[in-house]
């Protein structure tokens, strides 16, 4: 088997490939022409982010079976083209977890003991022992926002310093926290009680500006904050204000709204420690990224199951043709429902009815539902292969059911999600061959093409409610494109569904929720 290494990766991976008997061609210094020639008969390819693997490259590499990315991001690989050609793409998402967690702890200690400031002062010829009085970590509360791979490791390491760990992650179960000796709390509580706060969430529309002016005002006077995740999760203008006014005692950032942040005001804020996106920069993380990616490549070439598959060419093309519509419905149903669920998901039940109940690949369809449920909240790509493992690791029990009766829709998929704060039942069907429709939400019948931005408002069934909600949106410059209202009985609770032209910001959701007679409001975003 011939494996081409196109970008510089740690030598340990190349060694591993050779030990496994691969014919390795290191093409890191080759001109593109020469690299393409080598790829013509290659079975495997290893890249980082430099080499662009577009459709033309995949068409030329006729033997290619696997592409390994020594790292996480796969923006440089045309995943659709790879999937269509049956080329498996694997990566190494866990390679830098420990490295980033250790960097976070380093930043927490830098803040507590003021190490970077003391270092600069002494090098400037001063001996300011009194000025740099620090604080111990022992007994302090660390608030971890996002208890995924990195957040969990930070929490475990901080426990070794005798810190009390308080974590906020709406998508994990309390059991997960309990088993690790971590108290799982609400966002507000973490903000209020933590002495140090560290964020480890992905950057999404929901987490952009997660920590802003309002959140800084809720924090303990003199708290510290660390961001080793992604720039933009903390609002930099609000952070500058909180630091300069002394509202918080210090901040450490590895990531920035604009990178590099040279010349930007954030670097001039009081009591700020910064590093140039070094979170994942260790020799070990590079070695792991290289060896994990190479191991995965070898597994694929040996027809063994890899762990970190980014795409999903597992279904034969003929079967895929038939499944495509149902897969879209399944993924859409998951993506829609996760935005309605409050609390930590515990049980997921998918029931296939009518024509879908006859499809053989029900596990694959269930995995597509899980991918829709989990992808919007996780950093990694959750796909048809890894979805069951990711769900299991997060303590979610998954069951599949089957029913002949499809309630006159011909085909119908039911998704029931139970969390620690309630449950949601959403039904969807496929209209024509490829258009998913949501036909019921928690007992309310409707007919919704789940696209763009949607606002779901449950409110008392009484005159004037629709006008009040519409006015609330209009006052905030939000245009309503279409709307539906449904109820179970007269005078009870109605469900209003509004298709809106732009994302409804959190503060507007709060404003609408506060209208007399409104029970709850959910903003749903269907674009990926």
Per-residue DSSP letter, 298: H
Q: Which of residues 211-230 bind ligand NAD (CB under 6 A)?
A: 228-230
259 is catalytic: yes
| Gyration radius of the chain over CA positions | 26
Token pair of 398 as six digits: 């998954």
Nearest to 292 by CA among 437, 93, 445: 93
Least Cβ distance, residue 43 to ligand NAD (angstroms):
30
Give the C-alpha separation, 123 to 130, whole Å. 16
487 is catalytic: no
202 binding ligand NAD? (CB under 6 A): yes
450 binding ligand NAD? (CB under 6 A): no
Token pair of 396 as six digits: 């979610």
Least Cβ distance, residue 293 to ligand NAD (angstroms):
15
Max alpha carbon distance in the chain (Å)?
A: 82
Least Cβ distance, residue 110 to ligand NAD (angstroms):
15
Choose which of 150, 330, 356, 439 interacts with ligand NAD (CB under 6 A).
Answer: 150
255 binding ligand NAD? (CB under 6 A): yes
CA atoms within 13 A on the CB side of 325: 16
145 binding ligand NAD? (CB under 6 A): yes
Choose which of 170, 343, 452, 486 interacts with ligand NAD (CB under 6 A).
Answer: 170
264 binding ligand NAD? (CB under 6 A): no
Contact 411, 430 (CB under 8 A): yes
DSSP 445-497: EEEE---SEEEEEEEESSTTHHHHHHHHHHHTTPPEEEEEEEESSTTSEEEEE
Q: Which helix (H) or strand (E) holds 147?
A: none
x/- string (CB under 6 A) for ligand NAD, residues 326-365? Answer: ----------------------------------------
Judge residue 187's burial from the number of C-beta atoms within 10 Å of its C-beta, 0-12 exposed, 13-18 middle, 19 or more buried: middle
Choose which of 146, 232, 250, 472 interacts with ligand NAD (CB under 6 A).
Answer: 146
Choose which of 3, 46, 69, 171 interacts with ligand NAD (CB under 6 A).
Answer: 171
Q: Which stretch binds ligand NAD (CB under 6 A): 25-33, 166-174, 331-339, 471-479?
A: 166-174
Least Cβ distance, residue 5 to ligand NAD (angstroms):
23
Give the C-alpha separation, 201 to 228, whole Å. 10
Residues 6+ apart with CB under 8 A from 353: 402, 403, 404, 405, 406, 407, 409, 411, 412, 413, 414
Annotated catalytic residue, options 34, 179, 188, 259:
259
Annotated catalytic residue, options 230, 247, 344, 459:
230
377 binding ligand NAD? (CB under 6 A): yes
Token pair of 229 as six digits: 């995740």
Q: Which stretch binds ligand NAD (CB under 6 A): 39-47, 128-136, 196-204, 361-369?
A: 196-204
323 binding ligand NAD? (CB under 6 A): no
Nearer to ligand NAD, 200 or 437 (CB): 200
- Dihedral of CA atoms 477, 479, 483, 489 in degrees, nearest 10, equals 0
149 binding ligand NAD? (CB under 6 A): yes
Residues 6+ apart with CB under 8 A from 120: none
Catalytic residues: 230, 259, 277
* Binding residues for ligand NAD (CB under 6 A): 96, 100, 145-151, 168-172, 200-203, 206-207, 228-230, 254-255, 277, 279-280, 377-380
């Amino acid at each position: 088997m011939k494996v081409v290494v196109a970008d510089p990766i740690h030598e340990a991976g190349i060694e591993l490939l050779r030990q496994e008997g691969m014919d390795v061609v290191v093409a890191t210094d080759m001109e593109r022409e020469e690299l393409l020639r080598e790829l013509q008969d290659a079975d495997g390819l290893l890249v980082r982010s430099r080499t662009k693997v577009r459709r033309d490259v995949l068409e030329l590499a006729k033997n290619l079976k696997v592409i390994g990315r020594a790292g996480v991001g796969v923006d440089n690989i045309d995943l659709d083209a790879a999937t269509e050609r049956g080329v498996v793409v694997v990566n190494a998402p866990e390679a830098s977890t420990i490295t980033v967690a250790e960097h976070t702890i380093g930043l927490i200690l830098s803040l507590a003991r003021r190490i970077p400031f003391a270092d600069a002062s002494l090098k400037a010829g001063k001996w300011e022992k009194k000025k740099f009085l620090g604080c111990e970590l022992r007994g302090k509360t660390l608030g971890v926002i996002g208890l995924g791979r990195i957040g969990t490791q930070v929490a475990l390491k901080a426990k070794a310093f005798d810190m009390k760990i308080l974590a906020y992650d709406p998508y994990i179960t309390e059991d997960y926290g309990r088993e690790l000796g971590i108290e799982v709390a609400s966002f507000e509580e973490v903000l209020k009680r933590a002495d140090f706060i560290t964020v480890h969430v992905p950057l999404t529309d929901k987490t952009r500006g997660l920590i802003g002016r309002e959140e800084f005002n809720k924090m303990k006077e003199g708290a510290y904050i660390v961001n080793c995740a992604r720039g933009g999760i903390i609002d930099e203008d609000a952070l500058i204000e909180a630091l300069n006014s002394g509202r918080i005692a210090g901040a450490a950032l590895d990531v920035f709204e604009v990178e590099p942040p040279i010349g930007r005001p954030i670097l001039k804020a009081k009591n700020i420690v910064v590093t140039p996106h070094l979170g994942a920069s260790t020799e070990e993380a590079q070695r792991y990224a290289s060896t994990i990616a190479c191991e995965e490549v070898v597994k694929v070439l040996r027809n063994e199951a890899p762990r970190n598959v980014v795409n999903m060419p597992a279904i034969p093309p003929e079967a895929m043709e038939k499944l495509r519509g149902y897969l879209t419905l399944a993924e859409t149903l998951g993506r829609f429902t996760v935005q309605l669920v409050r609390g930590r998901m515990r049980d997921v039940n998918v029931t296939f009815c009518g024509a879908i109940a006859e499809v053989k690949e029900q596990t694959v369809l269930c995995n597509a539902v899980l991918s829709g449920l989990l992808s919007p909240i996780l950093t990694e790509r959750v796909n048809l292969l890894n979805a069951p493992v990711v769900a299991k690791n997060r303590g979610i029990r998954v069951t599949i059911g089957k029913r002949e009766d499809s309630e006159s829709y011909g085909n119908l998929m039911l998704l029931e999600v139970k969390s620690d704060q309630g449950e949601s039942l959403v039904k969807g069907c496929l209209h024509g061959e490829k258009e998913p429709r949501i036909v019921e939400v928690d007992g309310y019948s409707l007919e919704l093409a789940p696209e763009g931005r949607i606002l779901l408002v449950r409110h008392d069934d009484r005159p004037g409610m629709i006008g009040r909600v519409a006015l609330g949106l209009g006052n905030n410059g939000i245009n309503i494109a279409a709307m539906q209202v449904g109820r179970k009985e007269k005078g009870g609770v109605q469900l209003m569904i509004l298709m809106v032209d732009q994302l409804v910001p959190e503060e507007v959701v709060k404003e609408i929720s506060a209208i007399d007679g409104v029970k709850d409001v959910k903003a749903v975003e269907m674009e990926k």
